[in-house]
Amino acid sequence: MQTVEIYDTTLRDGTQQEGISLTATDKLAVARLLDDLGVTYIEGGWPGANPKDDEFFARAKNELTLKDATLVAFGSTRRANRRPEDDEQLAALVAAETDVVCLVGKAWSYHVEHALRTTPDEAVAMVAESVSYLRSLGRRVFFDAEHFFDGYRSDPDFALAVLRGAVDAGAERLVLCDTNGGFLSHEVERVVGEVTDALPEATFGCHFHNDTGVAVANSLLSVRMGVTQVQGCVNGYGERTGNADLCSIIPNLTLKMGIETIPPDRLSRLTTVSHHLAEIVNLTLDPHLPYVGTSAFTHKAGLHTSALARRSDAYEHLPPDAVGNSTRVVVSELAGRSTVLAKARASGLEMTDGEAQLVVDRIKELEHEGYQFEAADGSFELLVLEAKGWTQPFFDLESYRVFVEHRGGEVVAEATVKVHVGGERVVTTAEGDGPVGALDRALRAALEPTFPQIGDIRLTDYRVRDLDSTDGTAARVRVLCTHSNVDDAWGTIGVHQNIIDASWKAVSEGLILGLLRADAR
Ligand SMILES: [Zn+2]
């Protein structure tokens, strides 16, 4: 079976993305995640380039035990007209003490002339001597040929001379980089074909940026042309439009092209690793990312979902659990009865066709008012239960009241809730920083003596959106809440002209769902 090495550069090239800044501790956590996923190489950073990367490599020596992956230090070749043993950059790479070093050097004569301001011969010598030097110290060396594709287009003899210098000096991999990301797949196919023919003794890698939107395609095509190492980043992180996305490359190579990449039993961790990494870098994951996005296997149209329930392979290009993702069915007015039935079944609720029709009719009314059930699976569940004749047994609301007071420069909110719980009238008052927090506390206080399990339910997200605000004061607001307990989370929704009442509906439904979940356990 053909094998391709997965070389992850999230910790180096990925952190070039705007908005990503990782501490050394974050980087250690990411390296462990990548090792769990089973990538072959983890490029940890650029020793000597910044104190954070120096700290990362220093701590990695003691704190990072990788099971499968090999840590790589990245850095540039020696400077012009200097001996390798006198070069600080190479000294920093040596000090990182990794088994593998990835050296980057210029493969475009234009850059040699204008950036290095040296001769082509010296540029080749910088690469060859740096590789030899690191080899003499027992390091394995990969060579990243920077701007290779541009360089090969404008001056193929020089670009090939650089590669030859590297491989003759002992570089194990020659990595062809499209640093500016401008090359299309048909050009990549031609160049990689010519280069692998010209240097049959070498082993090749590829490194693509996504400036033309085809970094993944270019990587796959390079593999077809004989490249055996693919460099990229989780979630396609990287400068500008990002690097080639490993979350697409890995399943494409493995599941579509039959090529071994990460250990087969790890592929189902891909979605978790992608989402976990998004949390560490503190960026909202694009839900539409192939394979790992939350919408990657989401179905909305009614026709699809009725067929999906019968034959999932009719509308999904592969079983989502292969990459650790899952099918989601969203409810909307586009959806018919079958969507509602499929969605209810996904929540473990069975319904008759008649009950499903009641829910569909109700959803259509509510969506007209501004409700939206795509992110409110909890409120949807209550609609289903109500269609089946259920009424919530936990409390009956008599009234609530909220005061907000500006007092001596401080704003305080106080809420009073009057409810009937188990046949008894309960009146509770609570304070909070804001009116919704005060209401939530007052309701909890009323319910807690009868339902102590309410203490395990947390409000984890609260979002307000203004609807049709052109109506001025008549505008309605939509409140979306997420509540969670130890092993589950659910969304609820409220819509009203008054933000407090919209919040009351979403918050109280969240608590009702939580009590139902606790009962079920
Ligand atoms: Zn790059």
pLDDT at 227: 98
- Listed residues: CB within 5 A of ion ligand 1: 13
Tokens of 177: 């980089």
Distance 137 CA to ligand 1 centre (A): 26
Angle at 73 between CA 269 and CA 19, to 5 degrees: 65
Average pLDDT, the chain: 92
- What the chain holds in terms of domains, given with CATH numbers, is 5-281 (3.20.20.70), 298-375 (no CATH), 458-521 (3.30.160.340)
Distance 322 CA to ligand 1 centre (A): 29
59-68, 138-147, 325-334, 372-381: least confident range:
325-334
Q: How far apart are CA 258 and CA 110, in angstroms?
A: 39
Q: Phi/psi of residue 225, each to 5°?
A: -90, 5
| Block residue for tokens 């920083």 | 433
Distance 136 CA to ligand 1 centre (A): 27
pLDDT at 299: 82
Is pTM, for the whole model, over 0.95? no
pLDDT at 415: 97
Other CB atoms within 10 A of residue 256 CB:
11
Q: How far apart are CA 199 and CA 190, in angstroms?
A: 15
Distance 96 CA to ligand 1 centre (A): 21
Distance 239 CA to ligand 1 centre (A): 8
Q: Phi/psi of residue 501, each to 5°?
A: -70, -35
Other CB atoms within 10 A of residue 432 CB:
18
Distance 207 CA to ligand 1 centre (A): 7
What stretches of 316-423 adopt beta strand conformation (E)?
328-329, 396-407, 410-421
pLDDT at 502: 96
Confidence of residue 334 (pLDDT cuts 50, 70, 90): low
Distance 439 CA to ligand 1 centre (A): 52
> Any residues with CB less than 8 A from the CB of 502 and at least 6 apart, and which?
464, 476, 477, 478, 479, 494, 495, 496
Q: Is the pLDDT of residue 175 over 70?
A: yes
Confidence of residue 300 (pLDDT cuts 50, 70, 90): confident
Distance 347 CA to ligand 1 centre (A): 44
Q: What is the mean pLDDT of residues 473-500?
A: 86
Say if residue 226 is exposed, middle or buried (CB neighbours under 10 Å; 0-12, 13-18, 19+): middle
Distance 73 CA to ligand 1 centre (A): 14
Q: Is the pLDDT of residue 406 over 80?
A: yes
Angle at 418 between CA 415 and CA 421, to 5 degrees: 130
Distance 307 CA to ligand 1 centre (A): 43
Distance 144 CA to ligand 1 centre (A): 9
Distance 379 CA to ligand 1 centre (A): 45
Distance 208 CA to ligand 1 centre (A): 7
Tokens of 397: 């609301």
Distance 119 CA to ligand 1 centre (A): 24
Tokens of 209: 């940026």
User: Per-residue pLDDT tens for 242-277?
Assistant: 999 999 999 999 999 999 999 999 999 999 999 889
Pairing of the two strands 328-329 and 298-299: parallel
Distance 127 CA to ligand 1 centre (A): 18
Distance 275 CA to ligand 1 centre (A): 22
Distance 87 CA to ligand 1 centre (A): 23
* DSSP letters for 301-342: SHHHHHHHHH-GGGT-SS-GGGGT---EE---TT--HHHHHH
Distance 219 CA to ligand 1 centre (A): 13
Q: Which residue type does 454 have?
A: I
pLDDT at 474: 65
Distance 210 CA to ligand 1 centre (A): 10
Distance 377 CA to ligand 1 centre (A): 41
User: Per-residue pLDDT tens for 352-405?
Assistant: 988 988 998 898 888 888 888 877 889 999 999 999 999 999 999 999 999 999
pLDDT at 510: 96
Q: Is the pLDDT of residue 278 over 80?
A: yes
Distance 40 CA to ligand 1 centre (A): 18
Distance 272 CA to ligand 1 centre (A): 25
Other CB atoms within 10 A of residue 397 CB:
13
Tokens of 287: 């839900």
C-alpha gyration radius of the chain: 29
User: Per-residue pLDDT tens for 409-422?
Assistant: 899 999 999 999 99
Distance 243 CA to ligand 1 centre (A): 7
Q: How far apart are CA 417 and CA 432, in angstroms?
A: 14
Distance 36 CA to ligand 1 centre (A): 24
Q: Is the pLDDT of residue 197 over 90?
A: yes
β partners of residue 374: none
Which H or E run includes 229? strand 229-232
Q: What is the mean pLDDT of residues 88-95?
A: 96
Find which of 77-81, 130-134, 351-355, 410-414 is predicted with most confidence, using mean pLDDT: 130-134
Contact between residue 147 and residue 192 where contact means Cβ atoms under 8 Å apart: no
Which H or E run includes 513? helix 499-520
